[in-house]
Structure 1
Amino acid sequence: MRLWLASVLVTTLLVGAGGCGPQAARSVSAPSTSATAGCPTTAGSWQGGADQAPPGTPAVVKLGPGMELTPNAMTLAAASKGTPMRVTGVVYSRSCRPLAGVSIRALQTNGDGEYGPVVGDQPGACCYLQGLALTDGAGRYELDTVKPGHYKGAYPAPPAHIHISVSHLGSGHLETELQFAGDPGLKNGRPDPGVPVTPTREADGTLHALFDIVLSEP
């Protein structure tokens, strides 16, 4: 599944239906980077029980201007201030089993640290970059977006981050953050749960971050 965040936040999560799409040839391997050997659950805040249905179905998701949502692709048109960035990953169970049909919601600032348009001296209204999609049959997702900026005027400043909400029957609901290794905000003592990653730079200048997620179900 691929999630696009662009033009008012283009968050595009595209997971090719029926094994089709840009990641169809990619083999699903054991978790790496944010999901390590043994598949410990991803750091974050857990809510609900195993029988809780995933919230935020496509019928009730509120999208910003220019955004589209289909069962297998999320396109968020965002004011794309910032360095283009692609996030890819697989959602696993604790036994390292890829999970299909997992609901993933993404929310972030643009490269200027704005969640939405600034009106006068008021903070930006939500949201340039947000959306929802489901993982494909191999548990995959992809997010095309920009690297988020730091909040303006916040003290102590949190690290730049993407809010990731993950829901699946059998796991309840996980709230976590994709953060960035080396960000000075990681040292300020704020208790925000998250997973720091180290993006690499592709030939076209786009950043690529690997963010696998492990849920609590067996």
Structure 2
Amino acid sequence: MTDTSFHDEVTAKAAESGANATGLFLDRVHSGTGGEVDHARVSLLAGKAIKALNDLIVEEKLTYTEYNALKAWLIKVGEDGEWPLFLDVWLEHSVEEVASAHREGSKGTIEGPYYSENAPTLPWNGTIPMRDDEPGTPLLFTGQVRAVDGTPLGGAKVELWHADDLGFYSQFAPGVPEWNLRGTFIADENGTFAITTKRPAPYQIPTEGACGVLIDAAGWHAWRPAHLHFKISNPGYELITTQLYFPGDPHNDDDIAGAVKPELMLEPRATEDGSGEIAEYDFILDPE
């Protein structure tokens, strides 16, 4: 029987989450899904990055005290397994912007460090895996997957994952069932879907590790607004990785990950019986 006390989940530590994120990312890269970069690009990009850092050192007259603090912090990022978290929070939004600039369809945004492949496959009108007493407001999420020319994309794959009402992700926090709030939904012949889940909560990225040290030293906040993660795919079309957000969240305008876009805002409404919410959103795919 699943322990639903939520005690282990609430006491999750950044190091545990970081280690899991690092392990899953490396598994994906080693399986061949990470892609390859040619030597000329490595030379160009690494050279520019190193030059930019050296220019910054000279311009800001970096002291040895600051330099040694940087070295110690970089070592701690590795020890805490937080490179995926650091890169996905502070750099991925720019990578995504470049990668998606050509698209005419739906807007994308960052994947983040908490994606996991092979979530359970469910029908177009299914309920995402969750605990019997999963906290949070019930949410029915509906929409349609179409091509940019308006063609409905029957059988499109809609992958959804998100944090729970406490701000934790399954597979990255202890005490949470493996596939909790993670599912792959197959759209019907008209490209439509209707997914039953729970509204997620805003959360702080882990702050007990190296990323938290940086946040504290810089006087930043660690909050991400509540959001739903998606990957939308169909043969012959470009995959979309995106997130959808909820109006009124205090961190929509200062998301630490810089991932919020106005086109990704939902407009949820209360159900007729007041027992939950309904949100609608259509995904538009570009051809490959």
TM exceeds 0.5? yes
5+ long unaligned stretches in structure 2: 5-103, 111-115, 207-220
More helix by percentage: 2
Task: Give the letter aligned to residue 266 of structure 2.
Answer: V
Instruction: Specify which of 107, 112, 127 is matched with residue 43 of structure 1.
Output: 107
* Per-residue CA distance 1:75-99 (angstroms, 9 max, x = gap): 4331321000101001111112211
5+ long unaligned stretches in structure 1: 1-6, 8-39, 47-55, 64-68
Task: Give the letter aligned to residue 258 of structure 2.
Answer: P
- Whether 2:281 is the aligned partner of 1:211: answer yes
Query: Whole-Å Cα distance in 1 between the matches of residues 153 and 105 of structure 2?
Result: 14
Q: What is the total number of aligned residue pairs between the two structures? A: 162
* Per-residue CA distance 1:116-165 (angstroms, 9 max, x = gap): 38449xxx685420011211111100110110011246633111111010
Structure number with the bigger relative contact order (C-alpha 8 A, sep ≥ 6) is 1
- Whether 2:258 is the aligned partner of 1:191: answer yes
Q: CA RMSD in A?
A: 3.1
Counterparts of 1:41-190 in structure 2, within 5 Å, are 41-45=105-109, 61-63=118-120, 69-70=121-122, 74-79=126-131, 80-116=134-170, 118-119=173-174, 127-152=179-204, 155-189=221-255, 190=257
Report the CA distance shift for 1:70/1:90 in structure 2 as closer, same or farther (over 3 A).
closer
Q: Please state how far the C-alpha of 1:192 moved relative to its aligned partner.
A: 1.7
Query: Whole-Å Cα distance in 2 between the matches of residues 142 and 193 of structure 1?
Result: 24
Structure 2 match to 1:10: none
Report the CA distance shift for 1:146/1:129 in structure 2 as closer, same or farther (over 3 A).
same
Query: Whole-Å Cα distance in 1 between the matches of residues 124 and 247 of structure 2?
Result: 30
Report the CA distance shift for 1:188/1:156 in structure 2 as closer, same or farther (over 3 A).
farther
Q: Please state how far the C-alpha of 1:106 moved relative to its aligned partner.
A: 0.4
Q: Is the 8 A contact 2:119 2:184 kept in 1?
A: no
Query: Whole-Å Cα distance in 1 between the matches of residues 148 and 119 of structure 2?
Result: 31
Q: Please state how far the C-alpha of 1:41 moved relative to its aligned partner.
A: 1.1
What SS is found at the alignment partner of 1:77?
Answer: coil
Structure 2 match to 1:22: none
TM-score normalised by L of structure 1: 0.64
Q: Percent of counterpart pairs with the same letter? A: 25
Query: Whole-Å Cα distance in 2 between the matches of residues 160 and 130 of structure 1?
Result: 16
TM-score normalised by L of structure 2: 0.49
- Whether 2:269 is the aligned partner of 1:200: answer yes
Report the CA distance shift for 1:137/1:84 in structure 2 as closer, same or farther (over 3 A).
same
Q: Is the 8 A contact 1:116 1:127 kept in 2?
A: yes
Report the CA distance shift for 1:125/1:202 in structure 2 as closer, same or farther (over 3 A).
closer
Task: Give the letter aligned to residue 180 of structure 2.
Answer: Y
Task: Give the letter aligned to residue 286 of structure 2.
Answer: S
Q: Please state how far the C-alpha of 1:45 moved relative to its aligned partner.
A: 4.9
Q: Is the 8 A contact 1:115 1:125 kept in 2?
A: no
